[in-house]
């Protein structure tokens, strides 16, 4: 959905709608949509700037990074963005902190689908976990540890770390 900046009403534009995205658009290749993305967005033009404030809600399916089990993660994220026309911004050799928060649009259009997808991807954890206490799988037999003990004997650590054990013992 492309928003024409020149056609925005003076009091802004408010949209409440669902967006369908293919799961391939997510930054985590194992993630999948369980429902459409619900977006509530307000777009206003203030001088040269375009202010976009909104909220995205959906449910995603992930694979746990430790135990490889599928789990569901609800997403409810709010965002507040300010866009400036790309031709107004002067080129600098170095970026300062203020520039890091500046977003730009080309021409007189902003693709709202891209904005929604970007905000959704920013909510995805880098290492999805089914729970913070997930112990993963047994390194010997591959059994999921949260399902119970497997009885495997875990060998001692790498013998090259023996000196570190002695050092840490002396520190106590």
Closest CA to 3 of 54, 69, 72, 66: 54
Is 3 in contact with 112 (CB distance < 8 Å)? yes
Measured in whole angstroms, the distance separating CA 163 from the mean position of its chain's CA atoms is: 41
* pLDDT digits 0-9 by tens, 85-134: 776 555 555 656 665 566 777 778 888 889 899 999 999 999 999 999 88
**91 and 32 assigned to the same domain:** yes
CA atoms within 13 A on the CB side of 91: 1
Buried b (16+ CB within 10 A) or exposed e, 37-69: bbbebebbbeeeebebbbebbbebebbbbbbee
**59 and 97 assigned to the same domain:** yes
Residue 17 above 70 pLDDT? yes
**157 and 122 assigned to the same domain:** no
**41 and 86 assigned to the same domain:** yes
Range with the largest mean pLDDT of 24-28, 83-87, 125-129, 155-159: 125-129
**117 and 171 assigned to the same domain:** no
Is the entire prediction scored with pTM above 0.85?
A: no
**149 and 94 assigned to the same domain:** no
Tokens of 148: 């119970």
Helix (H, G, I), strand (E, B) or coil at 161: helix
Residue numbers of the domain that contains 18: 2-136
**81 and 109 assigned to the same domain:** yes
- Name the domain count of the chain: 2
**73 and 151 assigned to the same domain:** no
* pLDDT digits 0-9 by tens, 32-61: 999 999 999 999 988 888 889 999 999 999
Is 37 in contact with 59 (CB distance < 8 Å)? no
**126 and 144 assigned to the same domain:** no
């Amino acid at each position: 959905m492309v928003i024409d900046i020149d056609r925005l009403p003076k009091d802004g534009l408010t949209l409440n709608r669902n967006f369908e995205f293919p799961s391939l658009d997510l930054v985590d290749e194992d993630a999948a949509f369980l429902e459409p993305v619900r977006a509530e967005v307000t777009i206003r033009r203030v001088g040269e700037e375009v202010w976009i404030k909104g909220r995205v809600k959906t449910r995603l399916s992930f694979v746990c990074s430790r135990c490889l089990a599928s789990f569901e993660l609800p997403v409810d994220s709010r965002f507040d963005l300010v866009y400036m026309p790309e031709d107004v911004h002067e080129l600098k050799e170095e970026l300062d902190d203020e520039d890091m928060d500046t977003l730009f649009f080309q021409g007189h259009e902003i693709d709202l689908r891209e904005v929604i997808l970007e905000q959704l991807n920013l909510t995805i954890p880098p290492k999805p976990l089914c729970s913070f206490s997930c112990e993963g799988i047994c390194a010997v037999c591959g059994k999921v540890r949260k399902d119970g003990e497997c009885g495997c004997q875990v060998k001692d650590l790498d013998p090259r770390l023996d000196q570190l054990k002695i050092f840490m013992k002396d520190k106590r």
